[in-house]
Amino acid sequence: MATYTGPKVRLSRQLGVAISDNPKHLNSRRLDTPPGGSAKRMRRLSDYGVRLREKQKLRYYYNVQEKQFRKYMKEATRRKGNTGDNLIEILERRLDNVCRRINFGRSIWQARQGVNHGHIKVNGRRVDIPSYQVRPGDVITVADKSKEFIGRSVELAENSPTFEWMTFDGANLTCTITDMPKGAQHPFDVHLGMIVEFYSS
């Protein structure tokens, strides 16, 4: 499936939830109306449609393509423990998501671009793979040439990152992964059981 390059707010309005922490996406007035004009109304979804929408919420929020999301789902099923919690852990550990969490990018798309362009280092080595899975002990830093504009992004961020599984030093633009992610911290409710059912059916 090709990468979606259209207006990202359209995705939030389509799903009825904010897939980004951006003010445009958090505007509840806009989320109440689907894309396509004011006359268009939300149709009643079938059971399949409800499960599909729950899956799309996570897929768009973490900016993951369907093929990769399905791969993550298989990995989550293979591991011990709750499949839904395992899936969230895998998604949270993506390098582009960690950069989004610590405001190295104002959105998941900007964070992904920063990783792709080689602005991010892990344990002193440049990593340009957004799907790279961080693990406890990893230290994430910014390349010297990129510190000015990424530092500006951190300064302009409205929210200060506070996560139990990582520590962030804003002055030195350094993040240390201290533990595995414990639960999701996305700005909307999602029914993980329905996502598991979607891929089980």
**pLDDT tens sequence across 65-120:** 999 999 999 999 999 999 999 999 999 999 999 999 999 998 999 999 999 999 99
pLDDT of residue 73: 96
Q: How far apart are CA 173 and CA 103, in angstroms?
A: 10
Ranges of H-type helices in the chain: 8-15, 23-26, 28-31, 47-61, 66-78, 83-92, 95-101, 108-116, 147-156, 192-200
**pLDDT tens sequence across 182-195:** 876 776 788 999 99
Mean pLDDT of 62-67: 95
Residue type, 147: K
Place of tokens 């004009």: 37
pLDDT of residue 109: 94
Which pair of structure tokens corresponds to residue 55? Answer: 């899956």
- Within 8 A by CB and 6+ apart from 198, the residues are 51, 52, 54, 55
Name all domains of the chain by residue range, CATH numbers in brackets: 8-91+186-200 (1.10.1050.10), 95-177 (3.10.290.10)
Q: How far apart are CA 60 and CA 55, in angstroms?
A: 9
Say whether pLDDT at 37 is over 80.
no
pLDDT of residue 39: 46
Q: How far apart are CA 97 and CA 91, in angstroms?
A: 8
In this prediction, residue 22 has a pLDDT band, given cuts at 50, 70 and 90, of confident
Residue 161 and residue 168 in contact, taking contact as beta carbons nearer than 8 Å: yes
pLDDT of residue 96: 97
What's the pTM?
Answer: 0.89
